[in-house]
Each structure stands twice: as C-alpha cells, then as structure tokens.
C-alpha cells in the first residue's frame, strides 16, 4: 500500500511539472520579440560589444553572495590611482554605479526606471553620436539627478593614440552634443572607451576640466555573460568606494537590466550609492 501511494505521488508531481512547463512555454511564446536597434556606435574589432545577450534566467538570490570588505577605499584626491592617473574609486565609502555607451532608446529608459524605483543616482558615460540622436534621453538623465560623463564621439578605443588636437576636437564635439540637449549640463568626467588610457588623452581631458574616470569593478556585461555572472561579479568585487562599470547601450542589454533588479536592493543593503559629484574635479 505504501509503495502504491509513493508511485501515485510521483505521478502527480510529474504531471504538475509537465503542466507548469507547458504554461511557461506558452507564456514565453506570447511575448513579442523586442526589435534590436542600432545605436550608431562603432565597436572595437576585438570586442563583442554588440553581440546578442543570453536569456535572462537562473538568477541567484542577492543574499547568497556577500561582497568582500577586506580593502579600504583608496583616496582619489588629485591624480587618481588608476591607469595614467584615472580614478578608480569615489574617494569615500560610497559606491558609484556607472553606465556606458548610451543613451539607447530601448535600454536607457529601463535603467532609469529601475534607478528611480530604488532611489539611486548614477553616472552615465554617454557617446556623442547617441547624445545627438537622442537628446530627450540626455534631458531625462540630467532631470532625474544623474551625472553625465563624456565617453567620446564614436566610442573610439584608439582615441588615446591620436594627436592632442584630434582628441580635443573629439571631446569638445561630444560635450557640445550633450549641451545641445541640456545647455547648462556640468560635464566633469571623461571615460576613455575600452579603458585604453594614455598620457595625451588624460592631459586633454584635464585641460578641458574633466576628470579621467576609470573603474574598479567590471562584470564584463559587454561580453554578454548573462545576468547571473553580472550579479555575482558585482556583489563579490564591490567594496566601499568602488566605481562599478556597466552598460546601458551597445547591443542587447536585457541581461544587464535583469541583473539590476537583483543588484540594486542587494547593494543598497551593503552600501550607500551615489552619482559622482559634478561640483568639484
């Protein structure tokens, strides 16, 4: 009798699992495909910056991963501690989330909505071409209290190897595109595409009043590792004062958006999050 009951219970579980699986598959089939939009930015020939994002599934719960707190934040006063004097920390115990390569009409609004939901201010490193094409998104970024950072005109990873005059023209063109959308925008930071810093690009950025902005935590979301990898890397590597690199443009960023649903509450449990200040450099 006991064996019969066990077999019957097992049959019921298998039937329920099959029904749930069928319902999930049906639900997925009813969701329309999201159109892929080009943001006009040229990727490095050695980077998968604009490839397809893996499905946003199998997330770990935020509480399952604890960040390391072993290192004290480095001070970022004056010259930074990153490549060629760029900044890799905030200089305080606060953590700064940064988003590169936008604005993008599909993913930037999703990122902005999540940041607003959790009351988090961040820093957006925008590409000049995209700022020119989507001035409304630049206006939304600034209106919602986030910081704007210059990320070059066309995401030129080799910009640092070009002449100072070429670098200067590129950065000025990008800042002009940002200010065409928001005339009084304070652009206090420059981030070199690919992190390929050189002394000339740092010097020109500082000459134009912009602090060279690098990062301390890189979940390589541009390589499209999927949300779980993004979540795990950020939660395990973020320390007080970290500058965290993510992307809101450059391809399918659904994995990054999905990861933020878990990252924002998890990070807020551990740190204060801030937009990098624009009042001082």
**Cα–chain center distance at 160:** 22
CB 148 within 8 A of CB 185: yes
What's the pLDDT score for residue 230? 98
What's the pLDDT score for residue 133? 98
Element (H, E) at 132: helix 128-133
Q: Which of 84, 100, 248, 252 is catalytic?
A: 100
Q: Of 44, 87, 49, 39, whose CA–CA distance to 191 is shortest?
A: 87
What is the domain range of residue 248? 62-268
Q: 249 is written with which tokens?
A: 């443009």
**Domain contains 33:** no
pTM given for the model: 0.75
- The three-point CA angle 90-209-242 to 5° equals 10
- The three-point CA angle 53-67-61 to 5° equals 55
Please tell me whether residues 15 and 144 are part of one structural domain. no
CA distance 171 to 69: 36
Q: Which of 156, 170, 247, 248 is catalytic?
A: 247
CA distance 156 to 39: 14
Report the number of distinct structural domains present in the chain.
2
Q: Any catalytic annotation for residue 100?
A: yes
Please tell me whether residues 75 and 156 are part of one structural domain. yes
Please tell me whether residues 66 and 157 are part of one structural domain. yes
pLDDT mean by block of 10 residues, the chain; 281 residues: 41 36 36 35 35 37 35 42 94 97 98 98 98 98 98 98 98 98 97 97 97 98 97 98 97 97 98 85 37
The CATH number of the domain where 255 resides is what?
3.20.20.370
- CB atoms inside a 10 Å sphere around CB 267: 23
**Domain contains 215:** yes
What's the pLDDT score for residue 48? 35
Q: Of 148, 34, 142, 154, whose CA–CA distance to 99 is shortest?
A: 148
């Amino acid at each position: 009798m006991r064996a019969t009951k066990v077999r019957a219970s097992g049959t019921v579980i298998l039937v329920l699992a099959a029904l749930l699986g069928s319902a999930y598959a049906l639900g997925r089939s009813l969701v329309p495909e999201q159109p892929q939009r080009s943001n006009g930015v040229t990727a490095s020939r050695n980077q998968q910056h604009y490839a397809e994002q893996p499905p946003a599934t199998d997330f770990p719960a935020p509480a399952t991963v604890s960040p390391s707190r072993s290192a004290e934040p480095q001070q970022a006063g004056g010259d930074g501690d990153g490549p060629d004097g760029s900044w890799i920390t905030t200089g305080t115990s606060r953590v700064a989330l940064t988003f590169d390569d936008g604005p993008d009409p599909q993913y930037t609004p999703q990122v902005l909505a999540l940041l607003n939901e959790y009351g988090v201010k961040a820093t957006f490193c925008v590409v000049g071409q995209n700022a020119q094409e989507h001035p409304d998104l630049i206006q939304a970024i600034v209106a919602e209290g986030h910081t704007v950072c210059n990320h070059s005109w066309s995401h030129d990873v080799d910009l640092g190897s070009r002449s100072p005059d070429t670098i200067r023209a590129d950065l000025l063109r990008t800042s002009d595109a940002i200010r065409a959308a928001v005339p009084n925008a304070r652009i206090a930071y420059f981030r070199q595409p690919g992190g390929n810093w050189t002394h000339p690009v740092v010097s020109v950025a500082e000459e134009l009043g912009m602090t060279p902005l690098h990062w301390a935590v890189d979940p390589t979301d541009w390589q499209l590792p999927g949300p779980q990898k993004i979540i795990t890397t950020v939660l395990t590597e973020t320390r007080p004062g970290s500058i965290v690199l993510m992307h809101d443009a450059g391809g399918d960023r659904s994995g990054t958006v999905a990861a933020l649903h878990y990252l924002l509450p998890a990070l807020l449990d551990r740190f204060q999050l801030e937009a990098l200040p624009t009042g001082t450099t």
